[in-house]
Chain A
Amino acid sequence: GQQVMQIPQYQHVQEGEDFTTYCNSSTTLSNIQWYKQRPGGHPVFLIQLVKSGEVKKQKRLTFQFGEAKKNSSLHITATQTTDVGTYFCAATGYQKVTFGIGTKLQVIP
């Protein structure tokens, strides 16, 4: 079945440092979505990538979809304490949706 590997599981960064989380699949994906979950909260949609090689930006966040549509990344430039939370990728394909394990980001002030 469809599996999505997400790394790293945990990341501690100093405020102002950059952060990247990666999502990899063994199968070609229809699209990939990214969600953020604040501590004690629920996942909130950030963005969806559909096209091969697609790059989208939201302020300090940059999302990429690989050329083969098997991997994706989320990069945060100059992290802030408001970026704290767990970031999930979610892959859809073959009438299924699979979430990655998530990357828990801690930002040290």
Chain B
Amino acid sequence: DAGVIQSPRHEVTEMGQEVTLRCKPISGHNSLFWYRQTMMRGLELLIYFNNNVPIDDSGMPEDRFSAKMPNASFSTLKIQPSEPRDSAVYFCASSFGWETQYFGPGTRLLVL
């Protein structure tokens, strides 16, 4: 298995632009997590899905952030409009239930 796949790996954009991050979880996993990692706040859970349904989005910073999971093999995290404070590494992880989470390589986002 290729593991969790994320794209793009790096993204540089200007403030106000829309950013879309993509994730393909490991086949057979039914839980998907989006995390944001910064030096100041560490690893923060933004949202998680179970069987493609958003279960807890209490970690989503504000309305500028949205996440979708249209099917079991694809999820997106969208930021619109982006701001410099959104600069971080965004990880997607998948698991079967609450078992081991397998993290993707992350997307390094820089908003200028």
Contact = CB atoms under 8 A, between A and B. Distances in A.
Interface of A: 30-31, 33, 35, 41-45, 48, 88, 90, 92, 95-102
A100 B103 CA distance: 16
A97 B91 contact: no
**For B42, B55, B105, which residue has the most chain A Cβ atoms within 10 angstroms?**
B42
Is the interface on chain B under 10, 10 to 19, 20 to 34, or 35 or more residues?
20 to 34
B49 interface: no
Contacts of B103: 42-44
A44 B35 CA distance: 14
Interface of B: 33, 35, 42-45, 48, 55-56, 91, 93, 98-106
A92 B98 CA distance: 8
A96 B56 contact: yes
